[in-house]
Each structure stands twice: as C-alpha cells, then as structure tokens.
Structure 1
Amino acid sequence: MSAKRKRPGPASDSLVTEHEKTVHEVIRSKKDMGASQWEMKREINVADNIITKCIKSLLSKNLIKEVKSIQSRGRKHYMSAEFEPSSEITGGAWYVEGSLDTEYINVLKEQCWRKIYGMKVATLEGIADALRRSNVSQIELSKQQVEEIVKALVLDNQVMEVKSTGTGEFASIPVGKVCYKCIGKRGYGGEPKLGALASIPCGVCPQISRCTPDGIISPNTCAYYQKWLDF
C-alpha cells in the first residue's frame, strides 16, 4: 500500500456534506483496495441515489477516483485519492487498465526464451540478470515476475525445468538448483506440443496463488479463463 499525497485536511472536509463525508470515510477505510457502490450501501444506511450523488461530487472534488478492478468487472470501483490501487485490484504488471497486456507478456516470453537458449542452461537469477542488462523492459522486473514468465514458457512447452547435477553443462550451478533449458532448436514460437495449454492465461496470472474454486479470484469467474475455454 502506498500513499501518493497527504490525506485531505480540514479545508477539503469543509467543502463536503455530511453524507459525502460518510461515503468518503467508507471508501478511505478500504485503503488501497477501494470499494464498490454495493459495498458502500452494505456499510451505510443511505439510499442508492444519495450514494450515487455523493460519489459524483467526491469525484468532481478529486477526493476519490475510479479504478478498474479485475475482481469485479461489472461494478465500478472507487478509491480515496491518496492511495494507489493494490496489485490485487489492478492485476499488477501484467495488466493495463484492467486488461491483460498480452503483447507485453509475449515480448517478455520471447526475450526470456532467447536468454535461456543463449545460456544453454539458465537459473532464474541468471535470466533475470540478463533481462535487466538488456533493458528489454522499461520497468525493472522482480524475480517473481520473471518466474511467472518462465513458468508460462514451461506451460507452452517451449522450456523445460530441470535440476542441476553439478557436472557437464551444470558445472557452474550448485547441485539440485532448479534450472531451465529450451526444448529443441526450432526457435521461439514453434508449434507447442501441449496444444491448448500454450495459450492458457493462468501461466502469467499474478493472482494464481490466490485463485481457488470458491474464492473471490476463481476460475469460475475469470473472464480470461472462460475465453480460453470457449476458444
């Protein structure tokens, strides 16, 4: 959670009505997770039309902002202006305006494949370092993000996960450490052997660790997974 500016002070509060203050406090209490109008209605005993009017007023005064949520696409989501949305709301680095950035992901997948191919055998740290030095991404990728891309390549059957034996091509890598090798020499983008698994969105989803059948994040409610099934 990060605050990008100071919390609005008394001068701002003096410009809002009591109902607006109540609505704003509910939104503010959710911090970087924000709240939908349905959640506001659940917490305060105020008519829908009043909440709607308060939201419009608070938006016009720049006390709150509307954010896109990958968890509830059918509902508008609001956040107090001093907070930046959590990655649980935005989807993290792989999403832009609530949509999966497939073009960016594919560029990173190709670059990861090329780095692994060039190194013959590569550790996650080695791949991350090679990507950082190549400046292929405008933002510095975390180790977790690089791992998500590499795991997607494994699902695509472009890369295999192996463990170092400490000998031969693994001589410089500690025994038992997880490494990655390219499958075949056909070049990146060759026909994957796993058919439909090549395009499954779960491989690059930043919420995969939180995804459960009955949870808020679930295959049952995931638009991308449903689109993949329909295809």
Structure 2
Amino acid sequence: MSVLAGKRKRQELASSLSATLSNEERVVYNIIRGRKEMGIWQGDIKRETNIPDSLMKKSIKMLLAKTLIKEVVNIQNKSKKVLMAAEFEPSKEITGGEWYTEGKLDTQLIEALSDVCMKLILRQKVSTREGILDWIRKVGTEIFPGGVSAGQVEQILKVLVLENKVQEVNSTGFGDFASVPAGEVCYRLAKKTAVGVKVGAMASFPCGVCPRINACTPDGVISPTNCQYFEKWLDF
C-alpha cells in the first residue's frame, strides 16, 4: 500500500468514527485536527473551549481509545505531550528531526552510521553518499532496522569532513577513483585518519568480496544475522 493510499484509508476511517462522537468529543477533535502536524497542548484546548475540565479530559480519553488522535512528545518540552490527529505525522519542530526517537537524541544511530561510513570509505578507498546508502539498503538492515535516509548519510559525512576525518573531493575517474565517474563528489579518509587506522582489521570487510552477496537478504538463509564474518567485522 502506498503512503497516499494509507493516508486516504486513515482519513476514511477517521470520518466514519467521527460520526459516532458526542458534541464535546467532536469539538475537541476538530480543534486538534485543525492544528495538523503541529498538534496542540491540552491546556490550549481548554482555553479555546468552554467545556468543563472533567468532560474535556473524558473526551480526549475517548478520542485516544478510538485512535482518532495520538500523543506525541514535543522535543521543546518533553514533560508535556502534544495531541495530534492520527492521520498527521508530527513536524520536525515537534520531533526534533530524523535524529530523534520519542523525543530523545538517538546517539547510537549517529555513532553506528558514522562508524559504517568510515569503514566503507576505508574499504573502498573512496565512496559516494549513494554508495554508502546502497550498501545499507542491501546488507545493513541488521544495523539499521528502521533504515536511514540520504539526508542522514549526507549530514554524517559533513560532520566527518568538519572533524577532518574525511575529505570531500571530486573524482578524477582514475586510480582509486576508477569506480566513481569523473567529477562526481566522493569521500576518502583524511591522511591523518588513515595513518591511525588499523587497516588489517577494518579492510577485511566481508560483504564486498562475498560471492553470495546477491543472495543475501535480512530474512533469508544467507543473511547478515547469521554471518559470522559480518558479525566479527561489526564488533571491531
């Protein structure tokens, strides 16, 4: 099912459920739904209506039970949850963006993606953002079960460049750059980083030379989950 079809189905379900709401529940629901992806504090709903506090809380509880609305953690004030219609996804102002999970900065994701970028660049000598993203989609789902976006990979690479661990260069199309079309932006380890790296352990990256790589899938007989070589490389 496409994202658009899924959203349409949720809207149809919300429409049918809203027909069963009491007057108070409908008023509260319409206010929440009207705020779309920004949501609204419970206190703000109270200020916008003349509904008694106990009845308003009961209405919110019923709307949550009917899954017409949801509670979302606001990164700007984690102690107070925002109420939002179920059909909307919270804005980046609410969630903090792709690096946040349930209102918390996902430091493990940041560290894991940084490590993978460094290891792939070392193994391949040079790599592109698309090349790193392609590897993650093929065999990196065990590390990133929720996947990562092109924007996240790009942000990590920019940080590594700022930290002088990686250099952003344009491919010449020759030598170490033979796998990248001439003129395309790619990344290689900074000289001081390469000198301090234990090449033997990190360069023994198994997936790049595995003859069964095309048959390797997350849930298949051949999988990163049961590959001892892959696990050793990740544990380095």
Q: Tell me which interval the TM-score lies in, with the shorter structure as reference length.
A: 0.5 to 0.7
- Answer yes or no: is 1:14 the counterpart of 2:14: no
CA deviation profile, 1:37-66 (whole Å, cap 9, x unmatched): 354356x34368364453234334433221
Report matched runs for 1:126-205 at 5 Å: 126-135=131-140, 136-183=143-190, 184-185=193-194, 186-187=196-197
In structure 2, distance between residues paired with 1:7 and 1:129: 36
Cα distance, 1:11 vs structure 2:
5.4
**Higher share of residues assigned helix:** 2
What's the TM-score once normalised by structure 1's chain length? 0.66
In structure 1, distance between residues paired with 2:131 and 2:65: 49
- Answer yes or no: is 1:70 the counterpart of 2:75: yes
Which amino acid letter does the alignment assign opposite residue 180 of structure 1? Y
- Answer yes or no: is 1:101 the counterpart of 2:111: no
2:144 alignment partner, SS class = coil
* % identical aligned pairs: 45
Q: 1:127 to 1:168 in 2, by over 3 A?
A: same
What's the TM-score once normalised by structure 2's chain length? 0.65
Which amino acid letter does the alignment assign opposite residue 77 of structure 1? V
2:25 alignment partner, SS class = helix
Cα distance, 1:180 vs structure 2:
0.9
Report matched runs for 1:27-106 at 5 Å: 27-41=32-46, 44-46=48-50, 49=53, 51-106=56-111
The answer on whether the counterparts of 2:17 and 2:66 sit within 8 Å (CA) in structure 1 is no
Q: 1:11 to 1:48 in 2, by over 3 A?
A: closer
| CA RMSD in angstroms, aligned pairs only | 3.0
1:133 alignment partner, SS class = helix
- Answer yes or no: is 1:23 the counterpart of 2:33: no
Gaps of 5+ in 2: 199-236
Q: 1:143 to 1:26 in 2, by over 3 A?
A: same
Q: How many residues align?
A: 186
In structure 2, distance between residues paired with 1:90 and 1:166: 41
Gaps of 5+ in 1: 189-231
